[in-house]
Amino acid sequence: MKNPLLEDWTTPFGLPPFARISDADFVPAFDEAFRRSRAAIDAIAGNPDAPTFANTIEAMERSDALMDRVAAVFFNLVGANANPVLEALQRDLSPRFAAFHSETMLNAALFQRVQALFASRESLGLTAQQSRVLELYHRMFVRAGAALQGDGRDRLRAVTERLAVLGTAFSQNLLADERSWAMPLGEDDLDGLPDFLIDATREAALERGLEGYAITLSRSLIVPFLQFSTRRDLREAAFRAWGARGENGGDTDNRAIVRETLALREERAKLLGYPSFAAFKLDPEMAKTPERVRELLMAVWQPARAQANRDAEILAAMMHDDGINGDLAPWDWRHYAERRRLAEHDLDEAELKPYFQLDTMIEAAFDVAGRLFGLSFHALDVPLYHPDARAWEVRKDGRHMAVFIGDYFARPAKRSGAWCSGFRQQSNLDGEVRPITVNVCNFAKAPAGRPTLLTFDDAHTLFHEFGHALHAMLSDVTYQMISGTSVARDFVELPSQLYEHWLTVPEVLRKHARHGKTGQPIPEALLTRLLAARNFDQGFATVEYTASALVDLAFHGGAAPADPMARQAGVLAEIGMPPAITMRHATPHFAHVFAGDGYSSGYYSYMWSEVMDADAFAAFDEAGDPFDPALAARLAEHIFSAGGSAEAEDLYTAFRGRLPGVEALLKGRGLVESDAP
């Protein structure tokens, strides 16, 4: 039988033929992909002709065509619909990919060609995009150790391969912990839970094969449980399990992995001539140095901590009024904050949530994209990798722009969190190739026949991930190297966080926030209260995030700690972490930082991007129109369509005319007084 992964795909829009792909197809497909990629690289490196942009850089752009296609299918499946066969293959593939990457980057003949082109770049007559791509290829080779000699090259290769193994193990351990834990609930354990949450816990129990009701470690279940449950003992049990992911002892404990990872990252940085891993990692980013990152984080930390401490006193007094003595604990905060929000803003999540149906929030995200960028979305009836996933064709003025896939519901086979990925990236090198982009979330699924309801935070997550998707789908560059989200790590969150702002535009909510049973729009009084409470509990939210970013920076900014958990505790003590708040991501389940290299020394990037997104949306406020056509056109041209075609600072300045300061962020979070009207 033919291997569908190795065939030309004649499916609609070139979608992967999911119905025909089996787990057994991946090993031979990867074998062939590695063979073809290796042969292509050898041919480029051994080319007797003098290096040119076409025979070296463009040839490398084409060298991984099959690998890109097979790997995109595999890694999307292993993240969103994993099974033991795929997970075992992932463990085998991680060192193999790392070894091939090192083999390519440390190919002396190949690097000589890139180096020669880079040295003579001014005389090559390159376009702006070609110059940018050449610069990035040269940087990639140098940062991978191509300029090293002798033992250093060999050691860096070994370190890189080992780090890949550790990142995969961390991710799989975390998924195993999340998959294995559930807390059954009986009828007597439902005190305080609203109907939507009872429905979700019933559905979670059914999915786990349990009787009655259950809480799992899905954020869309556990957070509302912590908000509403009046059973402090059950809140504590759930919170402790949530916080203990990755540090339960046994085979899935991640603490030893973290320790080894940090030591190897430090060694990698020093082999490449950097004083610390943070210095190495931040060098190509907007922030440039650990000192600038810490300056930003501490500018936000101080007012956020002060606000959180004031809030803690109020919540503790509420708890004591309930007859509960002792200190406010982390499993108490969300419960009393929800009650305080009801008291101060007359805003109840149970009243609010019916107006935030999943389907109408998807419509809202699509509608905003239509008004800003002229996009339209058309449902597709095509086979996908899971029955819960759905797809749309994206068009602009009748032109095909992309296929968008949404996979929104939590399930045991899916890793936690929310993310944007792709089955195909945009490029124009060999004719127009349009992207296939996917958003993956973990919302609690409603029982059959009922609409899935989101919290307001869930709706923000949906808009956030769709902002990433738009960054990929609107991309219009020649080279995949700079396509879509291939930008600086501390710039990549700008489109996603900026897009969240349109969720809170009143006319968007009036149109799309409709009751799940009656279909009626959100009442004006409720909308007013919702928007007035946007910054409620921002002290808590900012503290839990910023603490995580400061720990990440401390881990990588100096010598690797012998005991990372002790170092985490030390950092939190140094900054005065409020005792009733925990890090958003404690070290043993800090997947952003340890399930791969992506956000290592880079968790701060959400806040760095928030400085820009607050300032960018302020431009629409200044224009007096959240859909100002001229601004939207500039936003599309310089941010959403430009990919990594220029340095992030230049792209932002082209849109806004200048770089922003931290003031807009602090005002946006309500941590300083806004200017008087």
The residues annotated as belonging to the active site are 465
DSSP state of 544: H
Residue at 167: amino acid letter: G
Return the ∠ at Cα 452 (arms to 192 and 492), rounded to 5°.
105
Order of strands, edge to edge, in the sheet holding 419-424? 375-380, 390-396, 399-409, 436-443, 419-424
Distance CA 131, CA 490 (A): 22
In whole angstroms, give the CA distance from residue 318 to residue 354: 27
**CA gap 257, 166 in Å, rounded:** 6
Q: Give dist(CA 16, CA 73) in Å, integer.
A: 7
Structure tokens that stand for 45 in this block? 């490196």
Please tell me the distance from the alpha carbon of residue 396 to that of residue 636, in angstroms, as a whole number.
Answer: 13
Helix (H) or strand (E) holding 568: helix 564-575
Q: Which of 298, 299, 287, 293 is nearest to 672 (CA)?
A: 299
Rounded distance between C-alpha atoms, residue 292 and residue 297, angstroms:
9
The residue behind tokens 């899916």 is 414
Cα separations in angstroms, 414 against 77, 361, 598: 9, 22, 19
122: left (phi over 0), alpha (psi -120 to 50) or beta: alpha
Stated as kind and residue range, the H or E segment containing 419 is strand 419-424
CB 439 within 8 A of CB 420: yes
Task: Find how far residue 527's CA is from the centre of its chain.
Answer: 29
Q: Are 460 and 39 in contact (CB under 8 A)?
A: no
Query: What three-state secondary structure class fits 431?
Result: strand
Residues 6+ apart with CB under 8 A from 586: 243, 246, 247, 568
The runs of H, that is alpha helices, within 209-329 are 219-228, 232-243, 255-271, 277-282, 290-321
Q: What torsion, rounded to 10 degrees, do the Cα atoms 611, 616, 619, 625 define? A: -130
Quick one: how far is CA 442 from the chain centroid?
13
